[in-house]
Amino acid sequence: MKGLAPLFLGIFGTFAFSWVGLTVIPNWQIGHLNPESDEEGTDIYPQPQSGMFHRGERVYAANGCVYCHSQQVRPDYVANDIERKWGNRRSAPRDYIFERPVFLGKMRMGQDLANIGARAPAQEEGSPAPPTSASPAPQGATASSPPPAQAVAASPATSPMKAASPSAPTA
């Protein structure tokens, strides 16, 4: 019975030091990052995001995009994200200070979406084809492919407002 106190103290100490090392110290290091201005003092990075950003973030989460697409540009020794023009530099903790929650992703199976707003206009300069409701599904569509744009636009997950309840009276 005398040997149980040091054993429990050792187990508690192990968990306490692990918790401090994995949560408290990283929070001290990067938990209170603030935006920085550039060398000229004119631009502040990162800027607080607009309402459209938060709406897109909710759509990204609701549709499960985080399972296939990451939002981080990886360093050169891991992948060639910068060569693919998925970003100008690798991602840093300061990039995510205004995002709650941060959707980094676990495993990338689709392209990186960290800087998609900067890349999208160049990729989609042509005018889009008018949507047709009678068009058949594409031949290569599978259950794992993302839904077509029309289905995503009509999905309740993409709506910024809550859907009306079935018991609510209709006008």
- Tens digit of pLDDT for each residue in 118-170? 666 554 455 445 555 444 555 554 545 555 544 544 454 554 444 444 444 44
Give the separation between CA 149 and CA 67, rounded to whole angstroms: 18
Residue that wins the pLDDT comparison between 66 and 5: 5
Q: What is the pTM of this model?
A: 0.49
Helix, strand, coil in percent for the chain, rounding step 5: 35, 0, 60
pLDDT band at 21, cuts 50/70/90? very high
pLDDT for residue 60: 81
| Across 37-66, average pLDDT | 78
pLDDT at 105: 67
The tokens for 91 are: 């991602």
Helix (H, G, I), strand (E, B) or coil at 114: coil
Phi-psi region of 85 (alpha: psi -120 to 50; beta: other; left: phi over 0): left
The token pair at 166 is: 């079935």
Percent of the chain whose predicted confidence (pLDDT) is above 90:
11
Kindly indicate the confidence band of residue 92, based on its pLDDT and cuts at 50, 70 and 90: confident
